[in-house]
Structure 1
Amino acid sequence: MDTVQHIFKGTFIHSTTRCDCEVIENHILGVDHAGKILFFEDAQKQSKLAQKWGFDESSIQELGKKKKRTLRNGTTTACYFATIHTDASIVLADAASQYGQRAFIGKVCMDRNDTYQKYSETTEESIRETKRVKAIITPRFAISCSERLLNELGKFAEEQNLHIQSHISESPAEIKEVLRLFPDYKNYTEVYDRNKLLTNKTVMAHGCYLTNEELHVFRERGAAISHCPNSNISLCSGHLDVRNALNQRVKVGFGTDVAGGYSVSLLDAIRKAIETSKILFMERSKWDTNKTENEVKGSMTPKGINRDAQNDKMEKNNVLSYKEAFRLATLGGSEALSIDHIIGNFEVGKEFDALLINPDAKDSPFEVFSHIPKEEMLQKFLILGDDRNIKAVYVAGRCTVPFSSNT
């Protein structure tokens, strides 16, 4: 029988395939030496679990009492666009390993249309050097890659069963240039698809202007979109309609696209994603100047806009809720990377990735009142919290905050 390395007791919040935000109070969770979850049961079974798994009940870590630690981010799994330089990419991989973060490191590939000549490679160099970093295939985007390079990268990814990451449909100008450079392809998605770069291990950043036809191809291939709302807004490139992508059954997770965006925090991505969905709602609901006076009055109360009607309309138009955004930041991200069988929630058998949150931190940016429901507490953290509320981060059962024990 597996031995227990860590035991945690308290309130757990995660996403499942059936529930965007499930709050589980007074539970006990055990993690083995490999960082996988052994059991997740009601705390009333604590004594029986101790007998079954052979642990001392005094070793249980009460989630509300652990020593405070700090972290600027809290991301347990990340996809990195490194540089075109292989050695630098390897250094980044070494650093991620040293600090205990689960990471997909990609040596960027680009053999044309570089901003500076020294930041490009020959096709042969790019193909050869990519094989040194066997992690995630990373063509920068179609504009900076020749057809031959894309084709060779697709073949290599297929041979080695590797993940793939790139950018797609970030702006209208980009799409126009892609179609000019690849006149034999009917759309941007086909450029990647025909070169075997659109698979169930592919994550494409942005996707703001993907058509439903292209989203259908994404769904068929099992490819995912990394929604980067901060970058999209910062660069004025566009907005991804997350609701439409989800309705098309396309996998969606969150990204930061630094330094296109200015924050590496997933909390920022959650907030910007919700804001983006509201912006899209407002764009669809622009004031109709052709309304009659009676129609205008019907949408108003003596004090102004009918807020209940407005909120109902927002729900019908599927503005992202904080619970849905929470799911996209957790289980959605693992699904986007096709590793949801390994991480994403607290199901038995998965690796224990978790943030230990302290809403009562001394310098917390928000207040918590007594007897506040746990869901409201989560909402406060997602909308108002920051690294001051993050006491610890666990990756595969290993506490990595602020640094792993061997650094």
Structure 2
Amino acid sequence: MNALVKSATIIDPKSDFHNETVDILIEKGVISNISKRISNPKNHKEIKLDNLHISQGWFDSSVSFGEPGYEERETIENGLKTAALSGFTSVAVNANTNPVIDSHADIHFLKLKAEKHATNLYPIGALTRNSDGKVLAEMFDMKNAGAVAFYDYKHPIDDPNLMKLALQYASNFNGLVCSFPQESKISGLGVMNENITSTSLGLKGNPALAEELQVARDLFILDYAEAKLHIPTISTAKSVELIRAAKKKKLNVTCSVAIHNLIFTDEELSTFNTNFKVLPSLRTQKDIDALIEGIKDGTIDMITSDHNPIDIEDKKIEFDYAKYGTIGLESAFGALNSIFTIKKTIELLTKGKERFGIESSSISIGNKADLSLFNPNENSIFSKEQMTSRSKNSIFENRELKGIVYGIIANNKMILSK
């Protein structure tokens, strides 16, 4: 793939051209020249877009599709197209399919289906067989097949000894264990944050305590096992405190937060809109403030869209019975850019690769082109017409977002919306 990108402002602190507006020549998928003005004698395709900005390719550490088994929610092909049009050149894909991705063959299937796409798919294998929390899955075999981490998506590991064994076993091959932060017996049948709002709405509450107990437990086990742990999608102020203290003790722990947990409070549920039924639950403004502070001081290592397509039959029903989840890839950039500076937004969208063993490529001559293209300044109302996901369960529907994404250049391919 050959292209000449014209008048692009580079946002990449690792590049010599950071904050400069330049032309970028890409030949056979590699950046061959960067300069103020580049001629085009070979008549390569020219990319000229309004207020074009370019950064290193974005990464999302928690994405769900549906294939195999739930293709009505999302296919791998359309999911990767959606990721590309949303600016993501790499996504780590969860194991919550049917069957669950818990073997070497399953990992191989995902990688085979994702071949020849612009966006890289990195499989996350299940931590336990069928994600049932009883017996460890074939972690080493999945690692050899290409799994970048092990996680029973949204299923907490109730047995502390099993978590200890998982961490100890994974440490033998530098595997990354992920543990969903929820204590099942405390959370019970709660469907939203336990608070005055849940009481007024008559909905069962899921207290912050359920998350915080699990985080504290896992950190104690991590200290004992001397392994490495990733805690996905924390949502409470106390969780931030616990992880901050663990990092001061030099424990090998990272964590993420879902973008919607940085923006919406539990008061949004007053309309019983099931797109706001997510896990972990939307919390309070105090929690949001603590999460944002955790991002700023480095306690929280990465953000995620926590993209989880759910078909309409499982969302357009009574709130108690609706499935948890929201799509988030398409709205990720515009939502983050609404609350952070563009520099911080891009930093958050490109963090996390190293933790998952994924290579980064700065915008420099001689490096492969792994680029996200966007305009940080154009506002728009996010509507169903802008959703390329098969499922339309977006928590950000009808919300104003700041900035638009043009697409990506990656894997010697170019996917652009314009």
TM range (shorter): 0.5 to 0.7
Deviation, 1:120, is: 1.9
SS in structure 2 opposite 1:178? Answer: helix
Residue of structure 2 in register with 1:80 after alignment: 93
Aligned with 1:262 (options 309, 326, 334): 326
Q: CA RMSD in A?
A: 4.3
Amino acid at match of 2:327: S
Q: Post-superposition, which runs of at least 4 consecutive aligned residues in structure 1 deviate over 6 A? A: 382-385
Letter in 1 for 2:89: T
1:257 alignment partner AA: D
Please report how far the alpha carbon of residue 248 of structure 1 lies from its aligned counterpart in structure 2 after TM superposition: 3.2
Find the partner of 2:340 among 299, 303, 320. Answer: 320
Correspondence for 1:252 among 294, 301, 307 = 301
Q: TM-score, normalised by structure 2?
A: 0.57
Residue aligning to 1:58: 42
Q: Partners of 2:252 and 2:367 in 1: how far apart? A: 22
Deviation at 1:100? 3.5
Out of 255, 258, 264, the position equivalent to 1:228 is: 258
CA shift digits 1:285-311 (9 cap, x unpaired): xxxxxxxxxxxxxxxxxxxxxxxxxxx
Structure 2 CA distance, aligned partners of 1:203 and 1:78?
A: 17
Structure 2 residue runs of 5 or longer lacking an equivalent are 51-80, 184-206, 265-275, 309-323, 389-403
Partner of 1:16: 13
Q: Distance in 2 between matches of 1:99 and 1:350?
A: 19
Quote the offset at 1:134 in angstroms: 3.7
**Distance of aligned partners of 1:213 and 1:350 in 2 relative to their CA distance in 1, 3 Å threshold:** farther
Following the alignment from structure 2 to structure 1, what is the Cα–Cα distance between the partners of residues 91 and 340?
Answer: 23
Aligned equivalents of 1:243, 1:176: Cα separation in 2: 18
Query: Partners of 1:139 and 1:354 in 2: how far apart?
Result: 28
Match of 2:113 among 92, 95, 119: 95
By how many angstroms is 1:188 displaced? 3.9
Q: Which residue identity is paired with 1:76? A: T
CA distance in 2: counterparts of 1:161 and 1:58, whole angstroms = 47
- Contact 1:139 / 1:150 at 8 angstroms: preserved in 2? no
The separation in 2 between residues aligned to 1:63 and 1:221, in whole angstroms, is 46
**Contact kept in structure 1, 2:256 and 2:301, CA below 8 Å:** yes
Counterparts in 2 of 1:224 and 1:125: CA distance versus 1, 3 Å? closer
Partner residue of 1:109?
127
The whole-number CA distance in structure 2 between the counterparts of 1:384 and 1:24 is: 30
Which residue matches 2:394? none
* 8 Å contact from structure 1 (residues 36, 396) kept in 2: no
The aligned length equals: 304
User: How do 1:231-310 and structure 2 match up within 5 A?
Assistant: 233=264, 234=276, 235=278, 236-238=281-283, 239-240=287-288, 241-250=290-299, 252-259=301-308, 260-265=324-329, 267-273=330-336
Aligned residues with identical type, % of pairs: 11
Q: 1:124 to 1:80 in 2, by over 3 A?
A: closer
- What is the alpha-carbon distance in structure 1 between the residues aligned to residue 178 and residue 112 of structure 2? 20
**SS of equivalent residue, structure 1 residue 123:** coil
Which amino acid in structure 1 is aligned with residue 260 of structure 2? N
Give the partner amino acid of 1:174.
Answer: A
1:81 and 1:356 mapped to 2: Cα distance? 26
Q: Deviations over 1:158-210 (max 9, x none)?
A: 3333444443379624336638xxxxxx54433345434536xx463335342
CA contact (8 A) 1:207 1:225 kept: no
Which of 173, 186, 195 pairs up with 2:225? 195
Change (3 A) 1:39 1:90: same
1:378–1:213 Cα change, 3 Å: same
Task: Give the conservation status (yes or no) of the 8 Å contact 2:85–2:416.
Answer: no
Higher helix share: 1
Residues 174 and 251 of structure 1, relative CA distance in 2, 3 Å threshold: closer
TM-score, normalising length: structure 1: 0.58
The amino acid across from 1:332 in the alignment is K
Alignment of 1:356-395 (within 5 A): 356-357=373-374, 377-380=375-378, 392-395=407-410
Answer yes or no: is the 8 Å Cα contact 1:107–1:133 preserved in 2. no
